[in-house]
Each structure stands twice: as C-alpha cells, then as structure tokens.
Structure 1
Amino acid sequence: MNPPQTTRPSTGAKRPTYKTNPTTGRYTKAAQKEVERAEARRAAAGESVPLPVAVDRSGAITGLAPAAAGQVVAEAIGRAGALTVDVETSGYPVGHANAALRTVQLGDEHTAVVLDPDDPAQAQVIRTALAAAPRLHAHSATADLVPLAHAGLLDESAWDRMYDTVIPAKLADPTSTGSDPGLKQLAGTVLADSATAPEADKARAALFKAHGWLTDTKALTPVERSGWAQVDSTCATMIRYAASDVLDTAALAVRLPQPPPAVTERERAVQRITARVAHRGLRVDRDQVTHLEAVHTPAMHAAAERLRALGVESAGSDRQLAERLTELGVTLPRTQPSTRHPNGQPSVAAGVLDGLKGTPGPAGDLIAAVLDYRHHETVLTTFLEPYRVLCEAGDGRARPTVYTLGTDTGRMSCVRPNLQQLPREGGVRACITADPGHTLVSADFSGVEIRVMAALSQDPELIRQLREGVDLHAMVAELAFGPGWTKANRYTAKRGVFGWAYGGGIESLARQLGVTADVMQAIVDALRQIAPAYVAWADEMKRMVRSGATQMPTYAGRIIHLPRDYPHKAPNYAIQGTARELLVDALLAWDQTRWGGGVVLPVHDEIVAMVPEADAAFATAELVRCMSRELYGIQIVAEPSEPSAAWRDSV
C-alpha cells in the first residue's frame, strides 16, 4: 500500500486578495468578514487528498494508487463475501445537463475506497470490482445502480446480485430499527456509537452551510446553489461522508434482522421489476406540458386577482387569508401550539378549506378563489415546471424511483418525480407518454379496499353485497342522507367510510368532509348497520394492539407491524398492507408474461406498463388476468383502461 499523499488546500486555488484600509493597513470590516468566512469554509472542508483513497471506521484517510485501490476492494469482497456500493452525484436526475457521477465508494464495514469515476484507471477498478462481487449491498439501491449503469460501470443485471438493506430495515419491527429507514437515522439506531454516517453527515451539512449551498436539490435548482454539484469531492469532509455510507451499510447488512428467505426473495424480485422505470424512464410530451402551462398560468393569475378583489393581497399568504376569513365571520381551527405560537394559529390548510366549500357569501367566494389558486399553482410548480426542465435541460425522460416498501403499511411510494401523485383528471397524466412504436396499457383494482375489508373480516353482509354487485357507498348514503341522496352524498359517504375505517375520528372527519358531526356519525352508524361483522373485526384489531399484539402476518408471509401507539390505525394497516401484497402478486405475474423485463409503473392500485403497439389489446387482457385472483374467498378484480400513447386520465 502506498504511503499517504501530501495534503493540500481543498480548493486547490490561490487565496483571494482582500481590501485593506490605506491608513491602518488592516482589513476593512467587509474584508475581515470575508476572511473569516473563507477560513470557516476551509476548516469545514478539511484538507484535500487526491483520489483514490481508503477510509476506515476511525475516519483515517489513506491515499492509494489505482492498482492498490483495486486490491483493497478485492480484500473487502473476500472478507465479506459481498461488496457494498454507494455513489455521490451532482444532485440532478440522470439525463439532466448538470447530472454527474462525482465519486463511487466500494468496500465493507471495515474499509471503504473512494474513487473518481472520471479517471479511466479508477473507472476500471470500479467496473472490475462490481463485476467480480458475488453479492452487492446498497441502501436505497436505485440511487446507486442507476447512475452507475448510465456511466457504463455496470448494467441492469446487477439487480440479480443486489441485496438492498432497505428491505430488511422496512420489514423489521420499527421498535428495533427506528421508524425512519434513512441510512443516517437507521445507522444511529442499529449501530449506536459505532455508526459513522450520522457524524459524517453533520460535518457535510456544516460545510454546505458555510458555503450557503442547498442540500435538498431538485431538477430546477440552479447549479451554483447545489452543494452536491459545487463541493470539492476530494476534501476530507466529503471523503469521510462518502465513505461512511459504505461502512455503515455494510455493517447494517449483517446486523439487521433478516426476514424469511422467501419473503426476502419476493421483495427483491418486485424491486428489480420497479427499478426498470428508473433506469429507462418514460417520455415526457413537451407539447402537452406547454399546452397545460398555457391553461393553468392565466387561470392562476385570474384566481389571484379574485383574491385581491376579496381583500387578500398576497395569494400565497396564509396569514392574510386567515385574517380575512376571520373578518368575514369564519371560525377556523387552530394549529398545534408551538414555542413561537403558544396558542397555535388559525389554520387554512387544504383539509380545512375543503370542509368549508359552499360557505355562503363573500367568505365562500374567497375560499373558492384560494382553492382555485392553489390548484393551478400546484399543477404548475409541482408537475409542469419540473417536466419542462426535464425536456429543456435534460433528455426529456422522467425516471422515478419506486420505493416498494414506501410506507409503514408496506404500500409503495414514488419520488423524483412522484408519478403516483399526478392529478387523475385534467390532462397532467398525458404529459407521460410511451416511446414511438409503443403504447401504455393499464388496469386498476376495482374496489380493492372494500374487497380486502370483506376478505379479512369475513363479514357475510359485505361478502353478499360484493357477490350481488350491491353499491355499499350508495347504501350508506341512503341511510345517512335519506332517500333523496345525491351523487355528491355518495362520494361523501365513501370518504367517510374509508376515513373511519382507517382510524379517523368523528369530529376530524366531519371537518375534512365539510359536514356536521351528526352527519359523520350517521355515516358510521350506517356502516355498523350494513357491515356489523366488519365493524366488530376492526374493533377487535384495535383491542389486540392495545393489549400488545402488534404483528399481523399477511398471506404472502410479510409481517405488518401494527402501530402500538395508535391502535385506532390498526385496521388501516391491515387493509392497506394486504392490498399492497395483491399489487406485488400482480407485478410478479406480469413479469412472467411475454412483456416481462419491460417498463412498468405501479400507481397505488393501478399498474401502467409500456408494450409494443401491436400487442395493446392482448397485453391489456393479460394485465387484467395478472391482477385478478381470490383472497380468502373474495374475488379481486381489475378494470382496464383503453390503451393509449399517452397516460390517460382516471376518473
């Protein structure tokens, strides 16, 4: 092993010249402050060491030649029988003009090697090690394998050897691993004082703060504000930060409680399936984005004008809105007390205002105007602007990461971008399109929550209603609102049924639905009358959690960990967690069809897949077949959408 390299200032640049007072010869006040800031930045960064380097758990940094780095990595593979991998990027999505792979870290829990992938010799070390490892570890592996694949350092087949530590962390009892699966928090909980990542992240955050850089960056973030893009990757602080992820992930891989092998393999399989969309992406239709921007921009400005006319000068000011609504006689609930606001503040959150829709007079006009404004602003800033950036500053593809165990119930989630949260109407979904010569096919589970409720509770009335095609929500609406119930009443009843089934209280649900507590109570009473065995089952689930029984095995073998501090949520966890297993079954079945290996996107209870145009009709029928099955005597069914080049609205 080569001796440590001589260190140098982390920036590698000459120190700037500062203005001095011509009389005293001392720095001016402004110059003195700049001197102090520069010194603070140098101190936060530490010394700089040319890559590659090896880092041990004590934080000691040793400079290496590329050949020696390869040997150190090979020794780590030999010790662990696996290779832990992590990357640092510029913080921009793959395909973006500012996307860059900054460093690659490889090793085990004892030693991590930090390498520069832009150096040909070091890139070969990376490529050779990744190919040689019989088993790979990473934490949230998509964030590592996708940039490595796009840099040509491995291919998608690496998923066959990947054992992501997120999987055992999310499957384990949260009381043993903590409730946050993020690496820094998880390492602190499981590894305690031996964890390296928490302190390394604090030092990294201090470095970013010293420079005024952002940590949470997005596709729209100016490159000069991104700490990930601007930081010197060879400074000691970033070297230790980068290495700590490998050191702690490798330690977690052998210390986390391991689920049964069949459960692990099921989760690894569905992770491989959903990772393809992050590797290959879905095409964004620039013309549709432009069209919708032309619709929502003037509509947002018009809503802002209405707000000004109604006495709210700044459309985005919650304080102004709350004050004006109070002046108009609206009683608003208050937020939770805080140090700054001991009595809380009037709340104008979406759930509050949704419940106040239809208020007569100027207050109702004001509420309608602000809801319109928020809708148009959300569509523009959350969806259309990022999509436009993907087209203008990128390759025009959205590459979302799907977390297959995204929530505490096990439900999947989606980020960067979140394609699960697109409005189901209004054409925003149509911004996502199939590649030329291909089409999108999709199907949605039909009433899956009610079917799972019936299957788990074995309520004979619910089972009868499902078999006879009876509309449960219509029955509840008639009992709660009377024979003259409307379609709107049915929708309220549906929201109330699920809200209560998932642990909501009468008062809070009434506010959310914009009804009185008496009406919400009537909805619950109707459900008790229509499905008494389900209500009894839900009450028993809550009682069991209160008595300490917090583990519910699903039919697939995965354990749902019921929230011991929130027993009222137990039925929700059971229903949502079981529905999630049905989605996994469907994805695994789809992967066995002729279109297995293609891009597929799970969206709550819907599956969207890209197939050749000529296969559209047959593929749609096969997707429905893959999603259809029986759960404890209850038929689980799916409804298809028409195949389309663009993702269709779902209303």
Structure 2
Amino acid sequence: MIEHSFPVLGQQIPVYVPTTVDDFRAFQRYITGRANAGERVAFDTETTGLDTFSPGFRIRTAQFGTPDQAWVLQVEKGEDLQRLASWALRTLPELSMQNRNFDSLACDRHLPDIMLEALAPKTLDTYILSHLSDPRRRDQGGVGNGLKDASAHYVDPSAPDTAAGLYDEFHEIGHTKDTGWRHIDINNPLYLSYAGGDVILTSRLLPKLQARVKELGINPSLIPFEHAVGFVCALIERRGMRIDRGYTTQLSAELADESARWAEEAKKYGVENINSTRQVSAALLGMGEEIKERTAGGAVQVDGNVLKRLADVDKQWDPIGSRTPNPLAMAILRSKRASKWRTSYAEAMLRTADENDRVHPKIGALAARTARMSISDPPFQQLPSGKWEVRHAIRADDGCRMISVDYSSVEPRVMAALSGDERMTAAILRGDDLHNLTAASVYGPGFTPGQRKVAKVVQLGVAYGGGAATIAAQTGLSLSAAQDAVKGYKRTYPRLARYIRSLQAQVIRDGYTLRTPSGRRLVFDRDAAYASFNGEIQSTARDIFAQGLLEIHERGLTPHVLLPVHDEIVADATDSQAHEVAREIGEAMTMSLRGIPLGTDPDVGGHSWGSLYMKEATTMIANDSWYAAHPDAAEAAEKARA
C-alpha cells in the first residue's frame, strides 16, 4: 500500500493508493463498511482534460473519501482497476461530488457498467449547495463555488489548492495548466495526494453547506429541483449534437479568410494591428470620432461596445440607424468576430467531436449569479440570435428535422408579473406588442421603426438598471433625447417604475440581498442595488425555463432535445413526427406566472440548426457567392423562404 497524506486543519489525513491484491481487498472492506453504515462517500476523478467525449480522453484516477481518509484507484493502469472503481460506485448507496455532471458523465462513458441514470439519484452536488448559499464568484465578493474557494471558507482556509498546486509540477515536465493533466506521472506523490485531498474536502464541505443553506432559510425544495435540472442537462450533454464535418472544415477556412480580409481593410485607415488599442483609438480619433469612454488607466476605450456604437449596430449586430457607420469600426468588428467564430466554434467543434462526429457542449445548469445556464465548448449561447452560419454546422440525425421552441417575450412578461403593472398586464393579455405600446407612448402613434427599436432598448435598459447615459450609448440618441425616452417609458408603466424603486430600497434594507419568487437568494454589490430588478427578472425567467425543461423530461421528450440555450429548446425528430414533437415540447414549457401567460413559439426547420434562422436571411441568396459555394445551405434557405 502506498500512503500519502493531505493536510486539513493541522492534521495529515491519510491518502491510500492500493497496488496489491491485499490492498484492493482493504479498499473493498472500506467501501463495504461505508455502504453497510449508510455513510455518504465523496467521489472524484482525475482526467486527461475537460473534453469528456473527444478521442483520447481518459480517466486517470478515481478516488473515494470520507472526512478521515481517501482512497485513490489508478484506473488508468488497467481494466481490473476500472472494474473495481465501477464496483465501488455501484455498491455505495450515497455519494457526494463537486460538479456532479462532469464526473458522472466521465464515468458513464469510460468506466464499465456505470450509467448516469444510476449515479445521479444517489449523489449530492456540493457545487449546487454552494451556489444556493452564495451565487457569487470570489471575484464578485462572494465565497466562490469552486471546491478550493468553498473549502477555504467553510472547511480550512489553509488547505492547499489541489489544482493550482500542481501547476509547478506541470511546468517541470514542460506542460501548461491545461496540458499537464494528461502528461503528469500517475505515480507523482503530489498528484496522488491532491487527488485524495479533493474527496476529503468534498466530504467535509457537504455538511457545512447543508447547515448554511438551512441557516439562510433558502427554500429547501430548490435542492432537489436543481439536482433534477442538472440531471436532465447531463442527459442532453451525453447525447450531443451531430456536426457536418465537411461544412465545418470549410467554414473554418472561410472565417480565417474573412478575418484576414477585414484586417486588410483596417490597414487602409492606418491600423496595422487591430488588437492594438493605441492604433485603433488613434485612427478613430483621427477620423473625427468623439470617444468619451476611458479605461481604468485613462486611455481611450475601444472595446466591442464602443466599436458597435461607432459602427451603428446593436448587440445582435442589427443596424441601429442613428448615424453613418464608421467603416474602420465595422472592419475591426468583423475581423475579430470572424476570428472568434473560427476559434470558438468551427475549430472547437472539429477538435472536441467524438468518433461519431457529435459535439457535446457542456451545459452549466446553475451558472451565473442569477442561476442562468451557461453553454461552453462550444459557447453556443454567445452566438447572435439572428445568425445562422455557425448553426448550420449542427445537423439533425438522419431522417430528422430540427426543432426550436422558445418562450414568447418571456422577460417582459416576467416584468409584468413581478411588478403587477396594470397597463403592461392588460397589453399582454390583449396580445399587444409591448414595444409598439412604449414607442407610441413616447413618440406618438406615428412612430418609426427606428423609434420602436429605441423603445425596445429603453424597456430593457430601464428593467436592467441602465440609465439614460447607457441608453444613449446603445442607441446613438443624445443624452437629452434618451432622458425623454426614459421618462416616457416610466409614464407608460407607472406601477413598474414604483415597483423598481421599492425593490431597490428593500434590497438595501435587507443587506443587499433579494429572495426571488422561487425562494432563491441573490446577493448584490453595495453599489449595485439598481441591478436588483434585472437580477429578479433573469433569475425568475431562468427558473421558468428550468421548470419547462423538467416538464419536457416528465413527458418523455428529453431524447429529442439537443440543447437548452437562453430561453430556447433546440431539438430534432423524424420528418413525420417533427411538428407533433414541437407542439408537445411547446405545451410542456407553457405555464403562467401570477396570471401572466408564458407561451411558446414552436418552429420546425430543415436538417440543420441554421435552417431555423435562414428565414431572416433569404434575401441574401440571390447572386451571393457564399451560397454558390454552399448549395446545401442555399437549398435550405430557399425552402425556408418558400
């Protein structure tokens, strides 16, 4: 038996690494004893990286632990050790994990006779309990939800960081913090000690978090709710999404060309390096642009928000119509976007796809401070809503069509439900367009399309705590015009304005905390009480979406789901069933909040995810060289137009 140790609260806790038959029998006695006692055991894995489904990924160690000891199985060394780890997972009646989905999916794919469906029901995730206690990251003033941060707060401030502590070891063998996990010697004493340390800390952390959740009076039903949502997301992640490898490879090359082409365009205005803020700011100022924004160091700021304002496009890249677009700003934006899309999407899909050309985006079921979900590897939720080029790489399974079901204006409806504003509620119940109502109130019944767009920005800006200055920057309005628009909006919905003021005052009185309708605890910075209504809206909308996801699962529709992104469910079904499945998913998601209906917009497309978005881009088809090079995309867009 190899024995290492891990320090906790001044004690060296033993970490056992069995290597002989007698050692393995001792491990079996440990597991059997814990199982017979009904004791919850912490579980964790060390792997070659985070790309669970990509070729070459493997589990290197599987570790089990309780507060007083840990056992590390070097499963990389052979099938017998893998079967032993599987036996232990099946034998133990209760488990705890930090970030349950990652380890459960790794075991589901790479350990024999282990299924996600068996692990999830008996596992408590310390990450979930930590997030319910304090959803803020450490850099946001919170405890932090990672194992190191949470353990430092609740267990032992001096306990080593078991990830960062290995970086020096990685550097010694010529690798980085990203590549070292694959190459470090599996017998490295620090590596094994820290592997055991993770489960020791997890087992000690769990009861501390359970007590903290109870102490804070957090709705106890949120614990099983979040575990259920996480499980459904893990099922979706396991299924993955098929990519068209040929299209994706070609897209990568074309995005590289596009980035280079727009970078060359920027050179015409004296910008040799589009990533040089000094060159970009000097060129823009030389073109007569007025840029008031400054960095913390006092330099002229030329980030994406500034460039989009100068290029006269909004966050979704739609034209604002408030000024003449600056060609340099547009060239820089397009070059950077093409480069980012190539790296973050095209190359990421090609790199992480499994042997069946399926990508498995990681779904953070409980991610942001407001609990909103995240999607990474690739980060599909960051794609602008109206863009189809990257989405076209995602294909339905053979004989299937793509489905999209999203909520209809969910955030304005949540605003109405939370505030109880009579005029907003009446407009929703009549089926009126809220942005039209606002625009008519501010600009009169003859408002223009541009003024409607301003009204939309004002509505979201006020709800999200943005002032007139922010709205002016986003719309190109003068400050006085933005102030008038904000005043007009508040006149349109007076009870909403009162509710926002009342909520902000209540948050300050309650120590900058807020309880949402679901009982979730949100924490705000001392200078950010203005963001409380935004937090309440986003958190409530997320819980509605999560509840819809559970309803979809309850109806047996999860096998159709490919991805939950924002307030949209992306799915597929056979050609003959697609419309019926879309309708059923829409019905499962439909609900009401305080009398406000939350309906859905089911849509059935062609054989790619992008086909659902091509309806907005069909005017680009004629005489477009890109479509000429992509006949499949052109065909799908033509069908969408028809």
Which residue, out of 255, 258, 261, partners 1:299?
A: 258
Which residue, out of 535, 554, 562, partners 1:573?
A: 535
- Report what 2:104 is aligned to: 145
- Report what 2:115 is aligned to: 155
Which residue, out of 86, 95, 102, partners 2:44?
A: 86
Tell me whether 1:96 sits opposite 2:54 in the alignment. yes
Which residue, out of 357, 372, 395, partners 2:334?
A: 372
- Report what 1:117 is aligned to: 75
- Report what 1:10 is aligned to: none
Give the stretch that moved more between structures: 172-181 or 406-415. Answer: 172-181
Give the stretch that moved more between structures: 436-445 or 246-255. Answer: 436-445
1:261-272 correspondence runs (5 A): 261-272=220-231
Q: CA deviation at 1:62?
A: 4.3
- Report what 2:382 is aligned to: 421
Give the stretch that moved more between structures: 134-143 or 518-527. Answer: 518-527
1:340-387 CA distance string (max 9 Å, x none): xxx432211001111122599999221121122122222212211111
CA 1:98 to 1:319, structure 2 compared with 1: closer, same or farther past 3 Å? farther
Identity of aligned residues (%): 27
Query: Which residue identity is paired with 2:49?
Result: G
- 2:456 and 2:277 mapped to 1: Cα distance? 30
- Report what 2:368 is aligned to: 407
- Report what 1:230 is aligned to: 183
- Report what 1:340 is aligned to: none
CA 1:149 to 1:426, structure 2 compared with 1: closer, same or farther past 3 Å? same
Tell me whether 1:593 sits opposite 2:546 in the alignment. no
- 2:561 and 2:200 mapped to 1: Cα distance? 33
Q: CA deviation at 1:203?
A: 2.3
Which residue, out of 558, 568, 576, partners 1:614?
A: 576
Which residue, out of 299, 302, 307, partners 1:345?
A: 299
CA contact (8 A) 1:325 1:363 kept: no
Give the secondary-structure state (helix, strand or coil) at the position aligned to 2:402. Answer: strand
- Structure 2 unaligned runs (5+)? 313-320, 617-642
Give the stretch that moved more between structures: 164-173 or 175-184. Answer: 175-184
- 1:159 and 1:62 mapped to 2: Cα distance? 26
- Report what 2:630 is aligned to: none
- Report what 1:187 is aligned to: 151
CA contact (8 A) 2:364 2:373 kept: yes
CA contact (8 A) 2:108 2:115 kept: yes
1:258-316 CA distance string (max 9 Å, x none): 45543222111111111112222111121331343354333222211111111111233
- Report what 1:25 is aligned to: none
CA 1:213 to 1:518, structure 2 compared with 1: closer, same or farther past 3 Å? farther
- Report what 1:33 is aligned to: none
Pairs aligned (count): 585
CA contact (8 A) 1:495 1:513 kept: yes
Tell me whether 1:284 sits opposite 2:243 in the alignment. yes
Give the secondary-structure state (helix, strand or coil) at the position aligned to 1:371. Answer: helix
- 1:245 and 1:78 mapped to 2: Cα distance? 24
Please report the TM-score for the alignment, with normalisation by the length of structure 1: 0.83
Query: Which residue identity is paired with 2:248?
Result: V
1:441-462 CA distance string (max 9 Å, x none): 2211011111111101110010
1:444-593 correspondence runs (5 A): 444-480=406-442, 485-548=447-510, 550-561=512-523, 563-593=525-555
Q: CA deviation at 1:575?
A: 0.9
Give the secondary-structure state (helix, strand or coil) at the position aligned to 1:192. Answer: coil
- Report what 1:171 is aligned to: 132
- Report what 2:192 is aligned to: 239
Q: CA deviation at 1:523?
A: 2.3
Give the secondary-structure state (helix, strand or coil) at the position aligned to 2:609. Answer: coil
- 1:202 and 1:596 mapped to 2: Cα distance? 37
- 1:369 and 1:563 mapped to 2: Cα distance? 37
Q: CA deviation at 1:163?
A: 1.2
- 2:187 and 2:36 mapped to 1: Cα distance? 27
CA contact (8 A) 1:624 1:638 kept: yes
- 1:574 and 1:310 mapped to 2: Cα distance? 45
- Structure 1 unaligned runs (5+)? 6-52, 218-225, 338-342
Give the stretch that moved more between structures: 251-260 or 138-147. Answer: 251-260
Give the secondary-structure state (helix, strand or coil) at the position aligned to 2:504. Answer: helix
Tell me whether 1:131 sits opposite 2:90 in the alignment. yes
CA contact (8 A) 2:136 2:523 kept: no
Q: CA deviation at 1:513?
A: 3.1
Please report the TM-score for the alignment, with normalisation by the length of structure 2: 0.85
CA contact (8 A) 1:322 1:347 kept: yes
- 2:41 and 2:605 mapped to 1: Cα distance? 42
- 1:627 and 1:305 mapped to 2: Cα distance? 47
- Report what 1:18 is aligned to: none
- 1:90 and 1:165 mapped to 2: Cα distance? 23
- 1:498 and 1:145 mapped to 2: Cα distance? 39
Give the secondary-structure state (helix, strand or coil) at the position aligned to 1:640. Answer: strand
Query: Which residue identity is paired with 1:304?
Result: A
1:571-595 CA distance string (max 9 Å, x none): 0111111111211221111112142
CA 1:531 to 1:179, structure 2 compared with 1: closer, same or farther past 3 Å? farther
CA 1:453 to 1:170, structure 2 compared with 1: closer, same or farther past 3 Å? same
1:194-219 CA distance string (max 9 Å, x none): x6352x3342122234445222x4xx
- 2:403 and 2:325 mapped to 1: Cα distance? 44
Q: Report the RMSD for the aligned CA atoms in angstroms.
A: 2.7
1:59-74 correspondence runs (5 A): 60-64=14-18, 65-74=23-32
1:556-582 CA distance string (max 9 Å, x none): 444444555421011011111111121
CA 1:160 to 1:363, structure 2 compared with 1: closer, same or farther past 3 Å? closer
